[in-house]
Amino acid sequence: MRLSPLRSLLGRSAPAGKDARLSILIYHRVLREPDPLFPLEVDTTTFDRQMRLLAEFFNVLPLREAVGRLHSGQLPPRAACVTFDDGYADNAELAFPILKKHGIPATFFIATGFLDGGRMWNDSVIELVRRCPVDSLDLHALGLGILPTASWDQRAESIGRLLQALKYLPLDERMERVEAMRELMGIALPASLMMSSQQVKMLDREGMEIGAHTVNHPILATLDRTAARREIADSRDFLEALLRVPVKSFAYPNGKPQRDYLAEQVGIVKDLRFELAVSTGWGTARNGTDTFQLPRFTPWDRNDTKFLLRMLCNMHAPVEAVPYPASSASTVRDDDPLFEGIPEQ
């Protein structure tokens, strides 16, 4: 399938002005090479291709500028933004040079408690299972049963089970369970997964926007108002002290609307005088979309045509942000006739 006709389709689906739609892409990591545990995670080759397509087919803008122009009716056609959550070191080491190569601005939402040698709890789980030297992991002592680890598929499934079991525990209990796993297994874990403060400063110096993403990446809906406000405000205050610039953008950790954050946390973000906040609900932002619940989306395809087609389909998602991952109503499955005959690569 030739790509040139898609430009017209994208333009009709995302026109300029008052009927504009803003596609905000979300990334977490950009890997040096594919990961057998997470085959859909973006590597540098795929990311480079995706950024090339964005630069060619979309008008990519800084997030704050794009949201301002959306609500003033001055957004260009095929408008898009690029965002990253959490603050992984590979964002600075691998993704940033590719962004710079293609002239694409991006916003990096930083969970400040993990800078300078920290590690997110989910990465501790992932790396423990990745490094497990035996074919099964006995976690009966922690109430988590026996998990198979004989193959990459089994390890990926076991990681998913552990993350789901731990994700919605109270923050302190979650960290205690993960630390108990580490002590039980006796496996050394990497201390270089997240950015350093100097890398955050470099991104800011190079013209990238830095946004807040809490300190410890909790599920905000599980916290009382005081704790939630402290997580949000302290992350912003740390970044403002580090960078000596205002931090006006926020990303909800995990970000599922009405599950990971509620109206109370939206109110806190407004009270703290942020200009905007993003969720992980799928869809495109339009004139009238809540500035403090902006939806985001990223096509996962390695094929150029599929990437653009999935971007096109996402433009027709419901106006309301939907839980992430989206239902088939807001995206398109790989077995959809639209994709028939298109190879994976």
177-186 confidence digits (pLDDT tens): 999 999 999 9
pLDDT in tens, 169-218: 998 999 999 999 999 999 999 999 999 999 999 999 999 999 999 999 99
Question: Are 199 and 89 contacting, i.e. CB atoms less than 8 angstroms apart?
Answer: yes
Q: Answer yes or no: are the C-beta atoms of 22 and 66 closer than 8 Å.
A: yes
- DSSP string covering 130-197: HH--SSEEE-GGGT--EEE-SSHHHHHHHHHHHHHHHHTS-HHHHHHHHHHHHHHHT----S-SBPPH
User: If you compute the radius of gyration of the chain from its CA atoms, what whole number of angstroms results?
Assistant: 20
Secondary structure letter of residue 319 according to DSSP:
S
Tokens 């689906």 appear where?
13
Can you read off the two tokens belonging to residue 196?
Answer: 């350093």
- pLDDT, position 5: 66
Torsion, CA 339, CA 285, CA 64, CA 281, rounded to 10: -70
Q: What does residue 205 show for φ and ψ, rounded to 5 degrees?
A: -65, -30
Of 9, 51, 22, which Cα lies nearest the Cα of 338? 9
How far is the first Cα of the chain from the last one, in angstroms, to the nearest whole number? 13
Domains in the chain: ranges and CATH: 4-116+193-339 (3.20.20.370), 121-185 (no CATH)
Containing H/E element for 230? Answer: helix 225-243
Burial class (CB in 10 A: 0-12, 13-18, 19+), 165: middle
Prediction pTM value: 0.90
- Which two tokens mark 94? 């691998």
Mark the ranges of the chain whose per-residue pLDDT is less than 50: 1, 319-343
Which string of DSSP letters, residue by residue, matches 98-139? HHHHHT---EEEE-GGGTTT---HHHHHHHHHHH--SSEEE-
Parallel, antiparallel, or unpaired: how do β-strands 79-86 and 21-27 relate?
Answer: parallel
**What is the C-alpha to C-alpha distance for residues 314 and 329, in angstroms, rounded to an integer?**
9
What separation in angstroms does the CA of 195 have from each of 29, 177, 189, 202? 12, 25, 16, 11
- Residue 159 backbone zone (phi > 0: left; psi -120 to 50: alpha; other: beta): alpha
- Reduced to 3 states (helix: H, G, I; strand: E, B; else coil), residue 245 is coil
φ, ψ for residue 250, nearest 5 deg:
-140, 145
How far is Cα 143 from Cα 146, in angstroms, rounded to an integer?
A: 9
